[in-house]
Amino acid sequence: MQCAGTEALWICLICGHVGCGRYQGGHAAAHFHSSNHTYAMQLGTNRVWDYAGDNFVHRLLQNKGDGKLVASGGNQDPDKMDSLQLEFTHTLTSQLEAQREYYEDKLIRVEKSSKSELEDLKAKLNDLNVKIEAQSINLELVQKEKISLEKKLLQTTTKLLNCQSDLSEERIISNALKRNQKEWQTKLTNLEKCYAEKDTEVKDLKEQVRDLMFYLEAQNTIAKSDNKEEIAEGTVTIGPSKSEGGKGKHRRHKH
């Protein structure tokens, strides 16, 4: 049933479609134009309308015994009635045959369309399965790469922590070395100062030794000389040393 109306309803004798009359929504006539089903019967009156001839075919009543359509009224000519029934049966049969061909052709078209759509869906499904398989492979590779990167990240993090720990230790050692360096630098400065003082003392001692050696040599020379008495009454002046230049010390020895 096409509409929600309850008055002046017509049923198609070919396919059973129910629609309202032309003075309501016109769904019954619209069904004729779309399906080319010629005959429709008005519910409640059993009047049959011929859309092709644009008139009523005959008033028919349904026999309560066998359900066949029979003519209403008792004054009809039997031969004419039989002729009308044969004509109506022939027309109805033709309409049913045309409708059968129409629906068979439509069914074939639907089957072809469905088959084509099914093939397309199968092809799309195959493509989708291929893509899914490829994506699964890619996903597996990505997961493996992810695991590998996580391992590398863990190793790098461990190395970084070790480097940070080593750096902390190196800083501690470096600070300790700096402190030791300052201490050793102070010691070195003190040693250099002490060395300079000792070096000065050594130079003084060398001067004294030189003077002493000169004195001893002079005494020895005088003792061996024939003029030792004259030399003993004189004085001897010692010249500056080579190491001190003009700043050498002058010492006199009287004999």
Question: What is the rounded average pLDDT of the residues 86-107?
Answer: 78
Model pLDDT, residue 128? 92
Query: How many other CB atoms sit within 10 Å of the CB of residue 3?
Result: 15
Report whether pLDDT(193) > 80: yes
Model pLDDT, residue 245? 47
Model pLDDT, residue 247? 45
Question: What is the CA 245 to chain-centroid distance, rounded?
Answer: 90
**pTM assigned to the model:** 0.34
Question: What is the CA 67 to chain-centroid distance, rounded?
Answer: 74
Pick from 89-103, 173-187, 192-206: least confident:
89-103
Q: Is 207 helix (H, G, I), strand (E, B) or coil?
A: helix
Question: What is the rounded average pLDDT of the residues 244-248?
Answer: 46
Say if CB 38 and CB 32 are below 8 A apart: yes
Report whether pLDDT(122) > 90: yes
Model pLDDT, residue 34? 85
Report whether pLDDT(68) > 70: no
Mean pLDDT of the chain: 78
Residues ≥6 apart with Cβ < 8 Å to 46:
59, 60, 61, 62, 72
Q: What percent of the chain has pLDDT over 70?
A: 75
Angle subtended at Cα 62 by Cα 56 and Cα 67, rounded to the nearest 5 degrees: 135
CA end-to-end distance (rounded Å), the chain: 166
Model pLDDT, residue 158? 94
Does 142 or 36 have the greater pLDDT score? 142
Give me the numbers of helices (H) and strands (E) for the chain, helices first please: 3, 8
Residue whose C-alpha is closest to residue 218's, from 208, 199, 232, 204: 232
Report whether pLDDT(152) > 60: yes
Q: What length is written for the chain?
A: 255
Question: What is the rounded average pLDDT of the residues 247-254?
Answer: 45
- Residue 125's pLDDT band, with cuts at 50, 70 and 90, is very high
Give the torsion through C-alpha atoms of 146, 147, 148, 150, to 10 deg.
Answer: 80
Question: What is the rounded average pLDDT of the residues 238-250?
Answer: 48
Question: What is the rounded average pLDDT of the residues 233-251?
Answer: 50
Residue whose C-alpha is closest to residue 219's, from 238, 203, 232: 232
| Burial classification of residue 33, based on how many CB atoms lie within 10 Å of its CB (0-12 exposed, 13-18 middle, 19 or more buried) | exposed
Residue 8 to residue 13: CA distance in whole angstroms:
16
